[in-house]
Structure 1
Amino acid sequence: MLSKIILIVLFILSLINKNKSLTGAAFIIFIISLIDNGKSADFIEKHFMNLGMTFLMIWMLAPLIKQTSIETIDLNQLLNARSIISIIAGILAVLVASKGVTFLKLNSDTMPGILIGSIIGVTFLGGVPVGPLIASGIVCGVLKLINYIFELK
């Protein structure tokens, strides 16, 4: 019963904060919890992370189909400082995420804390629970740091 109350509270908070992703997820899980005996939860836990990653990769690759041809990509753009930092940040983000997945598999007792932190971050702080966007945040931070350092000199 407590889990249903938590889902209702999450649903209401996400509606107030206009977080469509969390609103939809809380609603769907709440409905499943009313009509299911747990088999759906096992299926969701087993398959939805990979499914979510697949959709995320589709979203990330979608700009490639907007190009009229591969020749229109300017390779010089990949050689500037911003692009190199972006590539490094992307590599670091996926490495950290892979370590996180392995860690969670071996330390499932940390999952409630991670979930609570993620929910607080998404619901109250406007966060987005998406790993590859961490790379963009890292790039932003590194670029701000570089600009700050070089503006001081």
Structure 2
Amino acid sequence: MIDDRLVFYPDPRLAAVASPVSTFDSALRERAAGLARTLQRVAAIGLAGPHVGLLERIVVLQMEPGAALQTYVNPIIIWASADRVLHDEGSVSMPGIREGVERAASIRLTFCDVDGAEHERTSDGFEAACIQHEVDQLDGIFWIERLSRLRRDRARKRFAKLQREVG
């Protein structure tokens, strides 16, 4: 079972590169299920292992309430379109802050399911942006790193102000 407490920015685990999963067993299935429970508890669209301090390459997505839950183990983006799209992004690890992030409009990725079976799929639009966001997190790239320096600094200052007001 994983600890389902969220990790908040600027925790160094959010800047760490997650390790590939090499053992596909009941313990992995339980960690993925725990990540999925946390995703639903916090009403997020996507969650990567580092968001709960689990430095493994596991991502769960649920594009809308009631939609099928998708689990990606060891996801790798193998192709990204040259077309770019701006999407509003944020993170459960930096609540209250949202900014526009430009990402590839379409991607192709390979990944394993929790049983170790390999898959390849193409994704477009908002789902593609969500997958890119979570794969970035697995690579130690927190989403605000995709912003200009000015917008990133402003986001950090707004978050620090929110934290002072709340806590």
Relative to the length of structure 1, the TM-score reads 0.29
Pick the structure with more helix per residue: 1
The structure with the larger Rg is 1
Q: TM-score under structure 2 normalisation?
A: 0.27
